[in-house]
Amino acid sequence: MSNSGINDDRAIEALQTRVGHVFSDQALLQQALTHRSAGPVHNERLEFLGDGVLNFIIAAALFDHNPQAPEGDLSRLRASLVRERTLAKVAAEIDLADSLVLGPGEMRDGSRRRASILADGVEALLGAIFCDAGFDAARAVVERLYADRLDNLPSVASLKDSKTRLQEWLQARARNRPEYELLRVTGADHCQHFVCRCLLADSGDAVEGEGGGRRKAEQDAARRMLAHLDANQEVNK
């Protein structure tokens, strides 16, 4: 395990203490921490399993703690808790990065701290816990790692993307849906820059947004349109 931060029994014990689960089958833990770049026995299958386990446990927790919330709100909350960014933060909290086993190429590229690899590692770890000790053990770990997040959930409104918020703003005022148009794409294939326009046909209001992809540019345009509408609403009150 020369490419891993796991060099001795103390490191393994420390990681398991931080996670809150001591493995009966230590080989499962090693597999969960092994990236596909490091060899044929890696964590992708455990990651697949852990993704399903995590989604179910979080869905059940949200369902129990938010008895009045509609399905759409529960879905947005769950998505915020299981997305890559959140999982990478969980990985940082248990200091997972230094325990990952990576191939030489990934080590040179500094991939140990890459959000996608950290998120995959957390999911694989949960899948391994499920295989090692069953659903209740996996649920206990998830509820422990997510305790503060479940107790301090963000508002659903803050989780909606700009295009959704703009559409709801317009619908609430019986106005037409916004129109989006791609204006231009610049840059090389590997680093393209997109500019899109958001147009409100019923008023003629139009703003431009930009980003590293069409969707990002449209989201930026929607965000700018919301700011424009909110500013005008304040002026016209």
Catalytic machinery residues: 51, 123
123 is in an annotated binding site: yes
Edge-first strand order for the sheet with 193-200 is 179-186, 193-200, 205-211
Angle at 219 between CA 216 and CA 225, to 5 degrees: 145
Q: CA-CA distance, 95 to 106, in Å (whole number)?
A: 18
The sign of the dihedral angle between the CA atoms of 93, 146, 140, 56 is: negative
Residue with the two structure tokens 């499962």: 28
Is residue 178 within 8 Å of 93, Cβ to Cβ?
no
Known binding-site residues equal: 47, 120, 123
Known binding-site residues for Mg(2+) equal: 47, 120, 123
